[in-house]
Amino acid sequence: MFWDLFRQNIITLGNRADPNAAYPWYRVSSFGKKILKNEEVYFFHDLTSYEKIIRENISDIDNLTIFYLKEAMQAFIVGCQLSSAVMLGLALEYSLESLYEIVEKNSEYSTHFRSVSKEQTLLKKFNKFKQKLNEKRQDLPKELNEDLDTNLDMIISLIRNYRKESGHPSGKVLSREQCYVNLQLFIPCCKKIYELMNFFKQ
């Protein structure tokens, strides 16, 4: 447990009196203090705890998305932030494509959303879907409308942009903190995607 927390930069060597003290002396790192101050975030410290939080929030999440998310978490644990961002992007792409497929099979809405599948890129597809969804917002139940823009617009854009910059040569360095935030933000985002799936399945 000690070395797991150390590798994740939650604790560091030293103590209050002597920051240069060697093992076995240790203290909570500045990153660890940030985690302790915010009790509202989705906190996880290993692969098992991350998967547990996801399944608790999205009980019907599919196995392939879980596979991509676990790969993203494993990459994060060993310090491969760029690899983690790419795998998180794959999980997002797959979840969105699954949503589009379900919408297209819904006899009531298939015609309205037909233009979504004609778009070629992930971002263009999402923007078209968002546009068409906004045109039908009055059909959505109140609880589904709640925080819809935040979860599907701001969060997806954030994760999508990081994956784009991580998956192509750009020289951008993704910090551990940014990577951790992305793993956190994916949970409410994916939860909202699955709520939309369940609505359009009806």
Per-residue pLDDT at 67 exceeds 90: yes
At 85-138, the pLDDT tens digits run: 889 989 998 999 999 999 988 889 999 999 998 888 888 888 899 999 999 999
Confidence (pTM): 0.75
Q: 91 near 68, Cβ under 8 Å?
A: yes
| pLDDT at 166 (0 to 100) | 56
* Integer Cα distance of 50 and 154 in angstroms: 22
Annotated domain spans of the chain: 1-40, 41-201
Q: Of 168, 166, 139, 133, give the one whose Cα is nearest residue 151.
A: 133
Residue 200 CA to residue 154 CA, distance in Å, equals 22
- For residues 152-188, one letter each, b for 16 or more C-beta atoms within 10 angstroms of the residue's C-beta and e for the rest, the string is beebbebbbebbbbbeeeeeeebeeeebbebbbbbbb
